Amino acid sequence: MAGLQAGSPTPQSITVHGQSRVLEVSFSDGASFRIPFELMRIYSPSAEVQGHGPGQEVLQTGKRHVDLVELQPVGNYAVQPSFSDGHDSGIYSWDLLYELGAKQQALWADYEQRLAAAGVDRDAPMPQQGGHACGSH
């Protein structure tokens, strides 16, 4: 996923729609996206979701009804959401939010393919994870 690129569009407004579970973001280039909380959660940039290298990603399930309980600014380049399932370690750059919004259809298709390959349902509960001592979570 993208980092912060010079000259990239920046958010002009960010609105949390709790009832419909979407984050609405309008950008300086005129683009506007409604990003489902579930999509944000399953593509979190955190090490807990992305792992520490290629092939270490953790497939997220059971996130359809996840809520966004808090959204904190991170400098002038990102936001850090806290989700109702306790996940709060992902920092979403403006570029990442733009990418999530612009590529929603492809990201959902990729997610559905990964679910099918793993033989799990989107609403299946997450398996219990054993903790590890990497210090990044």
- Does residue 132 form part of some domain? no
Q: For residue 128, tell me if it sits in a domain.
A: no
d(CA 95, CA 61): 25
Range of the domain at 110: 11-118
Tens digit of each residue's pLDDT (9 = 90 or more) over 43-98 = 999 999 998 888 899 999 999 999 999 999 999 999 999 999 999 999 999 999 99
Q: Which pLDDT belongs to residue 26?
A: 98
CATH code for the domain in which residue 48 is found: 3.30.2020.30
SS (H, E, C) the chain: CCCCCCCCCCEEEEEEECCCCEEEEEECCCCEEEEEHHHHHHCCCCHHHHCCCCCCCCCCCCCCCCCEEEEEEECCCEEEEEECCCCCCCCEEHHHHHHHHHCHHHHHHHHHHHHHHHCCCCCCCCCCCCCCCCCCC
Q: For 111-137, how does the pLDDT look when each residue is reduced to its tens digit (9 = 90+)?
A: 999 999 999 999 999 887 544 444 444
pTM for this prediction: 0.88
- Reading the block at residue 77, the tokens are 């380049």
**In a domain? residue 135:** no
pLDDT value of residue 96:
96
Please report the pLDDT score of residue 8 as a whole number: 86
pLDDT for the residue 104: 98
Total of domains in the chain: 1
